[in-house]
Amino acid sequence: MYVCELMERVVSANFPTRYGNFTIYGYINKENGEHHIALVLGDVSGGNPVLVRVHSECLTGDALGSAKCDCGDQYDKAMRTIQKEERGVLVYLRQEGRGIGLINKLKAYALQDKGMDTVEANLALGFSPDHRDYTAGAEILVDLGVKKIRLMTNNPEKIAGLEKYGLEITERISIEIEHKEHCKHYMQTKKDKMGHILASY
């Protein structure tokens, strides 16, 4: 059984949303002070598989309505799916721009304006194509008592990143959405260069 060493749960509260009445949990990374949250609906502890979305922060997509990516639409779809099932977890990890931070992400946008794709832009800025780590997300799920997961993702790396912490992925649920015109090259890059499972490309 994996023992949580990195994440500390510091608060929980009732959290009414447009998707339903969730409980919000706040966590602090004991090594670097980063804050992460989990939105939980229903009883998710025990042995029954739990519907889960591990979502990396995207301020531009989640809050500002960017059409350059599918992040905001994925967040919305995940929350609506959890609401429909009346049970599930959305873990919200503070790793903006695939882990490179907001300002570097905007610098990557500027390079994309000059013709680079997202992978090329990250490399030009001195980063890997995907700088994210799922340790925090895995530890949050373990802390919540989740053992088996029906994971909403198109990203095989996310599956591998969670399974190594002892979480059992019983099902992968596609979270592909109908993409905007500005998003098509981004999605093609995800499929061709990052191995995302996308039926539309």
Contact criterion met (CB below 8 Å) for 169 and 36: no
Reply yes or no on whether 150 is catalytic. no
Residue 132 CA neighbour count, 13 Å, CB half: 25
- Which residue in 62, 130, 150, 172 is the catalytic one? 130
Contact criterion met (CB below 8 Å) for 152 and 14: no
Beta bridge partners of 89: 40, 52
- How far apart, in Å, are the Cα atoms of 192 and each of 18, 101, 117, 185, 186? 35, 24, 11, 10, 10
Contact criterion met (CB below 8 Å) for 76 and 59: no
**Alpha carbon distance 169, 139 (integer Å):** 15
- Which residue in 80, 117, 132, 133 is the catalytic one? 132
Contact criterion met (CB below 8 Å) for 119 and 189: yes
Reply yes or no on whether 132 is catalytic. yes
Terminus-to-terminus CA distance in the chain, angstroms?
Answer: 39
* DSSP conformation letters of 132-173: ---HHHHHHHHHTTB-EEEEE-S-HHHHHHHHTTT-EEEEEE
Q: Which residues are catalytic?
A: 130, 132
